[in-house]
Structure formats: C-alpha cells, structure tokens
Amino acid sequence: MGQRAIRADYDDQSIVVYQAYRPEIAEAALRAGRFVEPFSVNRMTWIKPSFLWMMERCGWASRPGQERALAIRISRAGWEEALGQATLTTFAPALYGDYDGWRRSLEAAPVRVQWDPERDLRGKPQEQRSIQVGISRTLVPRYVNDWTLEIRDITSLAHTLRRLLDAGRADEARQRLPRERLYPVPATLARRLGMDA
C-alpha cells in the first residue's frame, strides 16, 4: 500500500469526517443537526476523516477555539463530489503540467486537498499520509445543507482517550478508537488526488 490512502469510518452510504470548534459553534450545530450560525458559510472549512490526525490538531479537544470535537457523518456521494472538484495544495508536475497552470487551478478550486503525515496514538508523525479536504465557500452550503447526515459530539471521547494515555493505558485507549479502514477510491479520483497506485 502506498503512503497516500484514505482511511475512514464509513458504510455503504456515508463517511465520518472530523472538525473541532469553539463551544458556541458546536452547540448550535448539535441542536440543529447541521451547521448554523455562528458557523460561517462564507469561509473555507476543512474536514478530515482521520480521527488521530484530528486529535493531534485539536489537542484532544483542548486547544483554544477547538474545545469541542465533532464527528460529522456525510454522504459518500457528497464526499466524492467534493473530491472530484479538488486541486492539490502542492504542485504535482504529473498532474498539472506547469506551475502557473497549477496556481491558477488552485486559486479557482472549489475544493483543496492536502496530504499531511498521519499520526499515531501519541501524535507522532507516520510515513502514511492523511487527507485533509478544504471546502470553499462556494460549496460550503452543499456540505451544510445537502451532504451532512448527522453531527455527534465526541469531546468526551477525546478527553477520555487523553486521560487513558496520560495514565499509561495506551492499549485501552487504542481499543476505543473509531474503526477506520481503507476507503475505496475510484481510479479517476485517485489520480486527481495524487494517490499512490
């Protein structure tokens, strides 16, 4: 298996992605079952299917402005619609030909994709890469109104896992992680995302 592969919690119809927000945004979203004000539809929003990458990013739901961790179940159709409009945030000559063409594509892209090192339970960077998907404001209304199926608060899970790690109970923490597996990516999308063959 190559370094770039999508690992996620998914079923036949949906995939779970993660985000972390300040409490007022999370509370409003949880009450409404979708993102509503004070969430802004006028800025890019980044979604990540890797639980451990998200935990590293938000400090196990402890960093300022990221105190509430959310699991958002979205439709696979929406997920793949987003990926089908993506431009990589780093230049790949095999995909874009020339640098200026890639820059123009990136500036106009409704979706941006970047591959960052996956993390282990302790937050250590791994050789495998984890996908992040940035949805621009032109598509955020689709994410909010059409793709989102469910929003769950996983803040308590994040805090519990952090306590277990701090207590030296990594095996117990590992058993409580969401079950992620390789997500099947159609060949055309895999090429667009610069995924390894």
Q: State pLDDT tens for residues 121-165.
A: 999 999 999 999 999 999 999 999 999 999 999 999 999 999 999
pLDDT greater than 70 at residue 42:
yes
How distant, in Å, are the alpha carbons of 6, 10, 58, 70 from that of 186? Answer: 12, 15, 31, 27
Q: How far is CA 51 from the centre of its chain?
A: 8
Q: Is 9 within 8 Å of 15 (Cβ atoms)?
A: yes
Q: For residue 4, what is the DSSP state?
A: B
pLDDT greater than 60 at residue 1:
no
Segment 108-114 shows an average pLDDT of 96
Q: Rounded distance, CA 194 to CA 197, Å? A: 9
Q: Rounded distance, CA 148 to CA 146, Å? A: 6
**Quick one: which of 94, 86, 138, 91 has its CA closest to 113?**
86
The pLDDT assigned to 142 comes to: 97
**Low-confidence winner among 22-26, 72-76, 100-104 (lowest mean pLDDT):** 100-104
The pLDDT assigned to 2 comes to: 62
The pLDDT assigned to 159 comes to: 98
